[in-house]
């Protein structure tokens, strides 16, 4: 999903600096511009006291925990975006009456870098005619966060707000690939347009101008420029086929069918480095295979002896994020010998010293 952040003219230089540093700023929840932020009724305290009276159960812990959850908002950081790049009112209210600009982010990539070390939740703001009410059903569920930190009056519905809720308010780093586009307002100057384009020259970023539709009160967009990354290590797409990915919050894992003619140290190392530059966005593990028939074995566990040997014979190299360089035939190990593999040390040495 894409999210759009409207920026005013007054803070142009500050926002440009943040773009160059690949950072967003999540301000404290208590500094948001709606005085009703976090306004919420609740039935849990009354229910807890009722149960205490009926069954002589000490409910003070429940009430205390609820108050701690409600007061936690003083620690939170909120980064707000819109689902819409063409809302006239947003351009008027948050982008200096159309003299500012708007930033387009890939939300999944924007929050990804923080998931390993920080708590971050993505919430769509729910617009209601009245404040939400917390009930016992909300305890331990996402609806608790939704009601406390992402429910607003219907008067704000035009914003179509998406929130990233962090457990701290501060600057947050993101991978450069999270920034995907810049939109110039109707009154954004040519000099400022060129400054943004030039400043983001070595990035995959599209630049748009919004314009008025003569047949309606809507804004539309047109692509006016596109920057692309300078790739130092070009990759030959005929040399590989992506078999499988298995990404986690911290690590990207790639299983690749390597089809290159050369299998010497230099060629494999160049391929791995070029693949990382072209496709990875964080720490990664890359496994190279020379036969597509092993695909069914990639996710199979446990492996029979014959399957282990077959996989090991075609698992030609692996690059791990925690080790420099790469390892030849990583599955030709002690298990390989125990399961019936032969001459694996000799084969490994031969693959290191002789082009195949």
Question: What was the pLDDT predicted at 113?
Answer: 65
Question: Which residues are bridge partners to 63 per DSSP?
Answer: none
Inform me whether the pLDDT recorded for 271 exceeds 80: yes
Question: What was the pLDDT predicted at 120?
Answer: 81
User: Which H or E run includes 266?
Assistant: helix 265-279
Let me know if 90 is exposed, middle or buried by CB neighbors in 10 A (0-12, 13-18, 19+). Answer: buried
| Crossing angle between the packed helical segments 12-21 and 190-199, to the nearest 10 degrees | 20
Structural contact between residues 19 and 198, judged by C-beta atoms closer than 8 angstroms: no
Inform me whether the pLDDT recorded for 62 exceeds 80: no
Question: What was the pLDDT predicted at 256?
Answer: 98
Inform me whether the pLDDT recorded for 268 exceeds 70: yes
Structural contact between residues 184 and 165, judged by C-beta atoms closer than 8 angstroms: no
Inform me whether the pLDDT recorded for 87 exceeds 90: yes
Question: What was the pLDDT predicted at 117?
Answer: 47
Sheet holding 327-328, edge to edge: 240-245, 252-258, 284-289, 315-319, 327-328
pLDDT in tens, 289-334: 999 999 999 989 999 999 999 999 999 999 999 998 999 999 998 8
Question: What was the pLDDT predicted at 345?
Answer: 57
Q: What percentage of the chain exceeds 90 in pLDDT?
A: 67
Inform me whether the pLDDT recorded for 351 exceeds 60: no
What's the start-to-end Cα distance of the chain, in Å?
44
Question: What was the pLDDT predicted at 46?
Answer: 65
> Where exactly are the structural domains of the chain?
2-227, 237-353
Output the CA–CA distances (angstroms, integers) from residue 268 to 294, 325, 326, 334, 348, in the order listed: 20, 10, 9, 24, 14
**Per-residue pLDDT band at 192 (split at 50, 70, 90):** very high
Helix count (H) and strand count (E) of the chain?
A: 11, 19
pLDDT in tens, 193-208: 999 999 999 999 999 9
Inform me whether the pLDDT recorded for 247 exceeds 60: yes
Question: What was the pLDDT predicted at 340?
Answer: 86
Inform me whether the pLDDT recorded for 175 exceeds 50: yes
Mean pLDDT for all residues in the chain:
89
Omega before residue 302 within 30° of 0, cis: yes
Structural contact between residues 194 and 130, judged by C-beta atoms closer than 8 angstroms: no
The residue assigned the tokens 């072209």 is 278
Question: What was the pLDDT predicted at 303?
Answer: 93
């Amino acid at each position: 999903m894409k999210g759009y952040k409207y920026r005013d003219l007054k803070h142009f230089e500050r926002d440009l600096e943040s773009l160059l540093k690949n950072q967003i700023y999540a301000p404290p929840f208590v500094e948001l511009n709606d005085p009703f932020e976090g306004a919420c009724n609740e039935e849990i305290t009354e229910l807890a006291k009722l149960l205490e009276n009926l069954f002589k159960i000490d409910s003070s812990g429940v009430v205390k925990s609820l108050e701690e959850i409600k007061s936690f908002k003083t620690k939170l950081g909120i980064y707000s975006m819109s689902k819409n790049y063409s809302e006239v009112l947003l351009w008027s209210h948050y982008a200096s009456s159309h003299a500012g600009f708007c930033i387009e982010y890939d939300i999944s990539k924007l929050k990804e870098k923080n998931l390993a070390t920080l708590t971050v939740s993505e919430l769509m703001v729910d617009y209601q005619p009245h404040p939400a009410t917390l009930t016992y059903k909300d305890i331990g569920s996402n609806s608790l966060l939704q009601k406390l930190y992402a429910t607003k009056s219907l008067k704000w519905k035009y914003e179509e707000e998406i929130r990233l809720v962090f457990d701290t308010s501060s600057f947050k780093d993101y991978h450069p690939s999270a920034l995907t586009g810049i939109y110039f307002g109707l009154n954004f100057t040519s000099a400022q347009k060129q400054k943004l384009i030039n400043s983001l020259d070595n990035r995959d970023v599209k630049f748009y101008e919004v314009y008025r539709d003569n047949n309606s009160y809507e804004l539309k967009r047109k692509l006016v420029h596109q920057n692309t990354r300078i790739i130092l290590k070009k990759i030959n797409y005929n040399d590989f086929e992506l078999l499988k990915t298995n990404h986690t919050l911290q690590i990207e894992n790639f299983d690749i069918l390597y089809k290159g003619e050369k299998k010497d140290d230099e060629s494999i190392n160049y391929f791995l480095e070029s693949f990382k530059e072209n496709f990875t966005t964080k720490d990664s593990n890359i496994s190279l295979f020379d036969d597509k028939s092993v695909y069914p074995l990639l996710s199979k566990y446990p492996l029979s002896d014959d399957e282990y040997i077959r996989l090991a014979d075609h698992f030609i190299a692996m690059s791990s994020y925690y080790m420099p360089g790469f390892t030849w035939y990583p599955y030709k190990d002690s298990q390989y010998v125990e399961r019936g593999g032969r001459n694996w040390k000799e084969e490994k040495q031969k693959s290191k010293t002789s082009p195949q």
